[in-house]
Amino acid sequence: MHYSMRDDAVTGDTTTVHGRRIGLAVSKAVGNAVTRNAVKRRFRVLARKYESLLPESCDIVLRAKPSAARADFLSLEQQMAACFEAVKHKTAQRQ
């Protein structure tokens, strides 16, 4: 997981982006297309569940390791909750 806080100020002709943005990176090392898509679906469901923990101006990229293909849903959920909670605390300390 990688995250970045952005400044939502409008500069020039650029449009302002509001809200959280979540990206997924699932490489071929995770498995075949069916497996990768299953991992992405799980990640999307969990990201939606825990995105409210993140500040509004947070961009986050979730990178799946090959072990994510074999992990059960509960394990992925615990890891996702812990990661989003860690980002929440780190960003709160900066403010």
Kindly report whether the global pTM for this prediction surpasses the value 0.85. Answer: no
Q: Retrieve residue 32's tokens.
A: 């075949």
- Count CA atoms within 13 Å of residue 61 on its CB side: 6
Domain spanning 20-94: CATH 3.30.230.10: yes
Q: What is the pLDDT of residues 48-77, one digit of tens each?
A: 999 999 988 889 999 999 999 999 999 999
The Cα 21–Cα 10 span in angstroms is 17
Q: How far apart are CA 33 and CA 26, in angstroms?
A: 10
